[in-house]
Amino acid sequence: MTAKIMNAAAWAQTAKALLALSAAVSLNVLDQQDDKGNYLYARGRHKYFGIGALVIFFAVFSGYGMAHMLATMANVSATGAVIAGSIWALFQWCLERQMIMSIHAESSLASKLQGFSWRALLAALSAVTMVYPFFVDSNRAEIDVRVAEMSREKQILNLQTAQAASGVPDLRQEAEELGVQLQKAEENSRSDPPNLAALRTQLQQCREHAKEQERRGLRQIRIWQQELTALSDTSADAVRLVGKISQQQASIDTAKRICQRDEQQINHTILAWRNDKLAEKTHIATQLKQSQVSMQAAKAHSIDLAQVQEKKIALAAQAGFAADFAATWNMLQNDDYRRLQFIWWLLWFLTIELVAIIVKFSSSTDVDARLHADESLVRLDINTNRDMRAAQIRMEELRHAMRIRGEEIALQADAGKSTAALLTVQQLCQLQEVMANAGKDHETPEVADIMHQTISAIQAAYLRQVAAH
């Protein structure tokens, strides 16, 4: 029993630590008690435990939404969806915690509004990410219909584009024009030439004139034949009448031949017209046949092109996330009820995510005062240490500058005497070396002693002068 109580207490302590960590506050601050065992910050304790619970809730909810979206729309396995959902939940938890941690309840109203603007933008983006999978799942049947319609529209457009690329529309228009020309040639081949009416009128007039001339000529011939019966065959008058009758008969025959020639011209005109139109009809029919053959080849080529693109369209329609996203966007643009549903869900999710931020912004508790005081003390300590360090650095710089200035003053008071004495000592040492190199045989002990004593005296005087300055 004692072990169970200790285990429950450990779990409770772990849960409180998780809530405090999610709310971006130390558990030691929230659990701080007075001598009587009462919590020092009772109101702020409940506030921050509640904020931590909201952060954890939204992180879990976001992870579930991401896992559900990947499992239903992206063809991801259950294991992959769970892993991705867990990663997304951890990301949302970190993001929400950072947003909570960056808020100061004691800030001015302008600072709060400025901070709330970009935090609200992040919350809106996160809310959209969460709303989308639930919206798609609740409208799955309608979205599938929209995906099918969009796929069919793409296939129709793909076929039209393939036909245009193969030249099918131009060939079809050419075939239609040739068909109209062929029908017109067929009608022309069965019709009469344009000048046939005038020729027939001319023939009718010629026939009427020939008949009139024949009627008058036959009447005159009968009169002459009656007169001829009264005369003998050998008389001059009979011969003259016979000539007149022959001449009149020849005139009648000439008039008939003129009408026959006009009739032959009409027949020749009709025959030439029909032969010309038949040749034109044959030429147009040949062109139409060639155009139809070209159009069939172009259609076959367009079908090949369309099939290549149609496979890609089918794959795009089966690509769950992309197809669903396009259908959802189309639905939100054209369907007022679905758009209202999406906005309502978005506001709901956005409110859930903004609750923790609004609570942190709008209320200032004893814990907020404690945290603000601790942060102010830390900042004051940091600023104090910085100022003290800066003062020490300035003192060191001042001492160094004073030391350098003292040395400069000492050198100015010396006026180069120490330097001259040192130079003299160096010259005497060089002279001693020269004398030593010149040979010890030419040097007497008395001269050497005097030289060493002089050098020693000059060095001692130089050292005293340096010590004095």
| CA neighbor of 24 nearest in space, from 320, 287, 368, 274 | 368
For the ranges 60-69, 151-160, 321-330, 435-444, the one whose mean pLDDT is highest: 60-69
How far is residue 94 from each of residues 20, 45, 63, 90, 124, measured CA to CA in Å? 13, 21, 13, 6, 16
Residue 167: pLDDT band by 50, 70, 90 thresholds? confident
pLDDT value at 336 more than 80: yes
pLDDT value at 101 more than 70: yes
DSSP letters spanning 7-37 = HHHHHHHHHHHHHHHHTTS-HHHHT-B-TTS
- 134 in any annotated domain: yes
Please provide the average confidence, as pLDDT, over all residues in the chain: 76
Mean predicted confidence (pLDDT) in 230-238: 67
Mean predicted confidence (pLDDT) in 42-59: 84
Share of the chain above pLDDT 90, in %: 0
Q: Of 318, 337, 355, which one is at a domain's C-terminal end?
A: 318
Indicate whether 207 and 262 sit together in one domain: yes
pLDDT value at 416 more than 60: no
Question: What range does the domain containing 409 cover?
Answer: 377-414
Indicate whether 70 and 177 sit together in one domain: no
Number of residues that this document lists for the chain: 469
Mean predicted confidence (pLDDT) in 215-232: 75
Indicate whether 434 and 450 sit together in one domain: yes
pLDDT, position 233: 60
Does pTM surpass 0.85? no
Indicate whether 301 and 258 sit together in one domain: yes
pLDDT value at 428 more than 70: no
Indicate whether 178 and 89 sit together in one domain: no
The residue ranking higher by pLDDT, 58 or 111, is: 58
The residue ranking higher by pLDDT, 409 or 272, is: 272
Indicate whether 385 and 447 sit together in one domain: no
Indicate whether 85 and 179 sit together in one domain: no
| CA neighbor of 22 nearest in space, from 138, 101, 86 | 101
pLDDT value at 441 more than 60: no
Indicate whether 41 and 25 sit together in one domain: yes
Indicate whether 6 and 116 sit together in one domain: yes
Gap between the Cα atoms of 469 and 448, Å rounded = 32
Gap between the Cα atoms of 272 and 278, Å rounded = 10
Mean predicted confidence (pLDDT) in 233-262: 77
pLDDT, position 210: 77
pLDDT value at 469 more than 60: no
pLDDT in tens, 345-391: 888 888 877 777 777 777 777 777 777 777 778 888 888 888 888 88
Residue 37: pLDDT band by 50, 70, 90 thresholds? confident
For the ranges 117-131, 297-311, 384-398, the one whose mean pLDDT is highest: 384-398
Residue 74: pLDDT band by 50, 70, 90 thresholds? low
Taking the alpha carbons at both ends of the chain, their separation in whole angstroms is: 90
- 150 in any annotated domain: no
Indicate whether 302 and 171 sit together in one domain: yes
- 402 in any annotated domain: yes
Indicate whether 6 and 107 sit together in one domain: yes
